[in-house]
Amino acid sequence: MQSNDPQSEKRIEELEVRIAFLEDTTDALNEQLAQIAQEFDMAMKALRMLNAKVEQMGAGESNIRDISEETPPPHY
């Protein structure tokens, strides 16, 4: 049973417009999320590389001084 009620048709049209808007918004958010995920992966790789370099520097240089073990200068 179909209704030719103009109010019903208007309501259906409004719902279709809302659905189209929601689909566009969902697609845009999905693209942004994919870009953020890619940037996050790149940042994590860079962090791992920096961490490895810091570890290499720490293992390779034993002449790093611990300031907490030094005696203060005589004027203290």
Per-residue pLDDT of the chain (76 residues; tens, 9 = 90+): 456 789 999 999 999 999 999 999 999 999 999 999 999 999 999 999 999 999 988 876 655 566 666 777 777 6
Whether pTM > 0.85 for this model: the answer is no
**d(C-alpha 55, C-alpha 38), whole Å:** 26
Q: Give the pLDDT confidence score for residue 57 in this predicted structure.
A: 87
Backbone angles phi, psi at 49, to 5 degrees: -65, -45
Cβ-proximal residues to 58 (8 Å cutoff; 6+ apart), any chain? 64
Q: Give the pLDDT confidence score for residue 28 in this predicted structure.
A: 98
Query: So where are the chain's domains?
Result: 8-58
Q: Give the pLDDT confidence score for residue 60 in this predicted structure.
A: 66
**d(C-alpha 40, C-alpha 38), whole Å:** 5
**d(C-alpha 42, C-alpha 39), whole Å:** 5
